[in-house]
Structure 1
């Protein structure tokens, strides 16, 4: 088995053709469990067009009959192995190096993709400039970049629904304890929202991403 699974560049959905990507910041979309690269790509009209957006497909197939792809195995609601999430994070980093280039990227992930987004930031803080975590969480354990993140405090947006019953409470609590000490945290808990994304949340994500573009230009 390889050190990490590989992302397939042939199934990536890009918001603009290759000729229009030069010199522009890249936002990578990481979908949730049982989904694929087409799912979060539907958010593109709601996101700032200052970013080149790439929606990738997770490298694993979940157990039948679950459709789509997954970033790491889930054995029951509590079976989320940080080592498997780290393997997925290294797959994302390899894709960034091979298909995006040397400039830091931003990550936007939903559910599993949100956990992988944070783990990728923790694995290599030099490769990721910010993260948007929607209905996701921070995996447990220590990562090589944690001390760097505690010093740098990169921007992170964490949004979740008050009625989300998919992410275990202990994972939410763990994230609430970890993020403030390792990021410049913004975010919101949305009343009545389940394990999904609302228009209010998209508006907040748009404002967060606009701020990242303004920082870049300033």
Structure 2
């Protein structure tokens, strides 16, 4: 039951936001009493904390599995983006903004985890990409990582990309292509265009 609660809460939080969804709505969606819900989670704050950890752990595990597949660096980057988007497919209401505003300590802890996970993955990807000739040898990987990381966070700023005007999928696709075109070598550009052409046929 506890896992079912987490999964349902995750789906609702991603779709409607962490503040908007109430414990009453979660129990109603699950067809259980509010008392049963509180038997498993003594507060909404605790449920939010557990749910965000659950989402992070799932995405982190997916990234590790894809890295183990030994794709080339460009294919790996695209594959990870696609899988992360699947995990966050219900994200429609900028839940990150509500998490930051109403649960700042949980948000801070989560952001720290995301930073370290992305740093570990991206730096290794950049180094391998340079070594294998897919990325330009003169890129500063520390600078590129920060541009990439904070650029990704900007995509979630509704003042810049209001959900009523921009599809999350579209801006993620455009941003990743923009990022990769900025760092690839001629070999990498050929590979990137090959992979983008393949994706466009799906």
* TM exceeding 0.5: no
Rg comparison, structure with higher value: 2
Q: Which has the higher contact order (CA 8 A, sep 6+)?
A: 2
Alignment TM-score, normalising by the size of structure 2 = 0.34
Q: Which has the higher strand share?
A: 1
Greater helix content:
2
